[in-house]
Amino acid sequence: MPETPARYMLITAARLLDGTGAVPVTQAALLVKNGRIVTLGPATDVRVPDGAAADRKDYGDATILPGLVDAHTHLVAPGDGTLGDDIAKEDDDFLLLQAAKNARTLLHSGVTTLRENGAKGKVAFSLREGIQRKLAPGPRMVICGRPIAITGGHMGYFGSEADGEVAVRAEVRKLLKEGADYIKIVASGGSTRTSDPNRASYTVAELAAMADEAHRHGRLTAAHCTSAQSIQNCLDAGVDMIIHCIFTEPDGTYRFRPDLVERLAAAKAWVNPTLYVMKAGIERQREAREREGRLTPELEAQFEASRRALDVRVDAVRQMSEAGVLMTAGSDSPWGWYAPGEFVHEIHMLAQAGLSYSDAIVAGTAGAADSIGVGAVAGRLLPGRLADVLVVRGDPTRDIADLWNVLDVYQAGRRINRGVE
């Protein structure tokens, strides 16, 4: 049979960002062939081959950039304030439907790659396979399957509790056998009712056993750390990414730790600060209490204290960034009150913490891709790569809020039908 002729697509717009922080290309064009990028650059230099069929789309005063990469999601959560303890009580079949719905929402918002940071049972594995088989729409997924936690620890309810060096190493092997792309470790407590967010959970020896086993199989590690001791333990153990990175003491007080920041920078460990999930919790809980007529002076004082704590965390991210710590954008949505499809909020928070708009965008594209181990396939617009592309109205390097103005999303060169014309 004769070969099907190659089909080209030419996308043009006022500017193009390649995801690396390079100077934007103006009056730009991106040429795609059979789902992969052929070339990109000034429109005057990008041409469809003579005689070739091509679809053409000119977006005018808009920006072409890589599909966003969200380095931290929990797709089984509804984003309405439901606690993880209660999410874990749901049947896996229901959670798979919830996760599929959220994956579709994220894709429509411009996220074409995500890292799933912990789901119940085999839900993440099933969803990843369903998306790969095109049974459901969704971003490319990088998954841990289930986070590894101590008995009674944060997120242990998802199914991977393990204690002791031998048991945690065995749990890593089990997850890798099931198909995990990386290993998520819960190195401190969290919102789980039976855990303490101010205290480390695993010992350095246990953490080192998990990191060693993952690294022996060529996998990255990432650790939930909401205490200073857990951060120190993970640095001692060689963990690759610190999630949340909150310098809290066992008594609940916060003390910025320049010594740990220096170690983070020297180790080139990625930090995923997850700022907006805290802000969402403050704002949306307050709104809910106000609607219910239950916004008491005592609650208002608690919300104000939480705002001050968030300001402290934002300033800590600024100081870490200035010290050379690698920052990645990961939303943590739809955990807590952080609704799905709003990853841009986290990118915006990084800008509020001192990153330039350009650097904040990199943190949500190439930087995020590098931090989760998929920098060779996602986060950048380069010839030969799959055309995972986001087009937004305006110029987000001048006004980062323009990232909300989604015109189109392309996945492997295919325009996603978002139900919006």
34 and 139 share a domain?
no
Instruction: Name the DSSP letter for residue 408.
Output: E
91 and 210 share a domain?
yes
- Domain assignment present for residue 1? The answer is no
330 and 394 share a domain?
no
Q: Please give the Cα distance from 304 to 306 (Å, whole number).
A: 5
- Domain assignment present for residue 102? The answer is yes
**DSSP annotation string for 345-407:** HHHHHHHHTT--HHHHHHHTTHHHHHHTT-TTTSSS--TTSB--EEEEES-TTT-GGGGG-EE
- Domain assignment present for residue 142? The answer is yes
Q: Please give the Cα distance from 143 to 120 (Å, whole number).
A: 12
- Domain assignment present for residue 75? The answer is yes
Instruction: Provide the domain limits for residue 38.
Output: 8-66+380-415
In the numeric block, the tokens 């103005």 are attached to 405
- Helix 297-322, helix 276-291: angle, nearest 10: 170
Of 163, 79, 81, 149, nearest to 120 (Cα)? 149
39 and 160 share a domain?
no
The number of CA neighbours under 13 Å toward the Cβ of 221 is: 26
13 and 59 share a domain?
yes
Q: What CATH number is given to the structural domain containing 50?
A: 2.30.40.10
287 and 187 share a domain?
yes
Instruction: Please give the chain's pLDDT, 421 residues, in tens.
Output: 455 667 899 999 999 999 999 999 999 999 999 999 999 999 999 999 999 999 999 999 999 999 999 999 999 999 999 999 999 999 999 999 999 999 999 999 999 999 999 999 999 999 999 999 999 999 999 999 999 999 999 999 999 999 999 999 999 999 999 999 999 999 999 999 999 999 999 999 999 999 999 999 999 999 999 999 999 999 999 999 999 999 999 999 999 999 999 999 999 999 999 999 999 999 999 999 999 999 999 999 999 999 999 999 999 999 999 999 999 999 999 999 999 999 999 999 999 999 999 999 999 999 999 999 999 999 999 999 999 999 999 999 999 999 999 999 999 999 999 997 6
- Domain assignment present for residue 3? The answer is no
For the entire predicted model, the pTM comes to: 0.97
- Domain assignment present for residue 2? The answer is no
- Domain assignment present for residue 247? The answer is yes
Torsion angle defined by CA atoms of residues 84, 191, 369 and 40, in that order, rounded to the nearest 10 degrees: 70
156 and 195 share a domain?
yes
Q: What CATH number is given to the structural domain containing 133?
A: 3.20.20.140
58 and 74 share a domain?
no
- Domain assignment present for residue 421? The answer is no
108 and 238 share a domain?
yes
